Structure 1
Amino acid sequence: MDTIPSLTNIKRAHQRISKITLDTPVLTSQTINEMAGCEVYFKCENFQKVGSFKMRGAANMILGFRSEERTNGFATHSSGNHAQAVALAAKLAGSKAYVVMPKNSAQVKINATKDYGADVILCEPNEQSRISTCDQVIAETGAIFVHPFDDYRIIAGQATAAKELMEDVPGLHTIMTPVGGGGLAAGTALAAQYIDPNVEVVLGEPKKADDTFKSLQANKIIPVKNPDTIADGLRTSIGARNFEIIQKYVKEVVTVSEKEIIDAMRTIWERMKIIIEPSCAVPFAALLKEKEKYTGKKVGIILTGGNVDLSNLPF
């Protein structure tokens, strides 16, 4: 797919992936509604297969190839959730996955990726090493590259989470997601634009990895430098395809501090009794930071994942 996904593309993606993904529940909490001063609807992608929305994009891309095209398998580089998603989607498609992971990735994520049947290749913890190691794997195996976010097939797959949310909760005023590479953010923006253009899309981003916020201000991509945030899933620079969609259809990006992220994460653990990872708490932190804007409104938040190292919690 070499053009921005249409609503038809998103619907097809939804149909395609429904064989191997879950239609995750939407949860609410009276206590959180009172705290935020609005009605908050949490789309629980932390309950998705592999514990993350990333399963949607990976499944859409991998299942989009015919079985004879999948014989050499699929390759990617990722520090965690996308790694596991490619591993499981490839396995369920009867194919092979090769996953390049930085050697400082959370051990729980490395183990899980191996458990889903992937060959894990460790590399130095920087973008250049990830890319060059992955290129080498592709050259040796002939595997198809599955980009973590900068691919329209991935964006169409991620858009299905917002599609389900809007079908389950009509009349939302705002949908909030975190933004890292921008697959979910761009997909959510497209789904909202097509299904209900009155829905505003607001992104949460860590102050310590605020490249999307800065890029929108500068009207060009400014890559992230030394993203020292607890939200490990959001340490990536925004992708080109993703940025183009976000520029058109996202209302604003709200940046939050490390303390705000940790406090929001803890609140969801305590009040909702569910496990979310730090990246996942970022849009909720953004809502709490600017709650006066949403008084009495209906706000959907996509809880992106629940893969945490339980021996290394920030609280």
Structure 2
Amino acid sequence: MTNSNPSPETLLDRQCEQRSEPGYLETVLESGTRRVVIFHRGKALMNGSSLGYFAPATLPSEPPAGTTYVYLAKALAGHGLPVGTDLVLQVLPYDAGDLTWVPAGTEFAGYRDVASALTAGDVEVFVEAQAVANWHATHTHCPRCGTLTESLSSGWMRRCGQDGSEHFPRTDPAVIVAIVGPDDRILLANNFAWAENKYSTVAGFVEAGESSEQAAVREIAEEVGVVLDSLSYVGSQAWPFPRSLMLGFMGYTNSSVSTPDNVEVRATRWFSREELQAEVLSGSAGIPGRLSIARELVERWYGGRITEPGDVVEPAELVAPGAAV
């Protein structure tokens, strides 16, 4: 199977150098051609099934007090906008009050609720916007002295007015591993936070002083009691919960025994390709959605697309295609 890394080719020009110039964001905010992405309490304002890109004229001239603005990027393609359109994130305060001003036909929704219907362009903007919105919401005060910080560099830096320290959005590396046993079955885990029939790959954060490979081996041993004999890096995906960079691996083990930790992992199961496809189709087992790197890892092992209920397929597609190449 060809590696179809779920992180798409960039459809945005983030203007990383230009946005730090004094007055850059203010100039963009004066432009009537900009488009605004709105977040409130970790959810984006959707326009039907698409991420909303709102013209300034459709929004109140005076936003709620405490609103934060962040320059996101210039749109390149995939957003239904002219190439070069400036995208600005408007993060409403938690206690924004009456939101009846939002345009008709719109509603706030979380990423997991709408991801399957989003275009690649919408996904890239949504993930960037949610990650930086989460950061602003949790870094309002200086970690050194506790003084309120101010947003600068077009929303990509916060500075303490007391000690002058500068703070930037953080990205937390995490590993995610599809475990393949000696008989070529895949080991999937069920987390206590999920329904009992949902299974996925195993993931965890990289700790200070660890390489991603060391973290992968440690997390697999801790959560499912499996010793990995080798690893193969597949690719990465930005994941906005809360601001992670998922580093995907295929992990191989000579063991066919697993032991859930009963802290995070409720149960584990080894699946053959035929078993997994049959249980997904019957609804007795659920797997990650197609926009996640977890699904990419599972389908890389499977050797093709796993069919779900409701998919329109040819009978030949129901036959497990065999190991990935």
Higher relative contact order (CA 8 A, sep 6+): 1
Bigger Cα Rg? 2
**TM-score, structure 2 length as denominator?**
0.23
**TM-score, structure 1 length as denominator?**
0.24
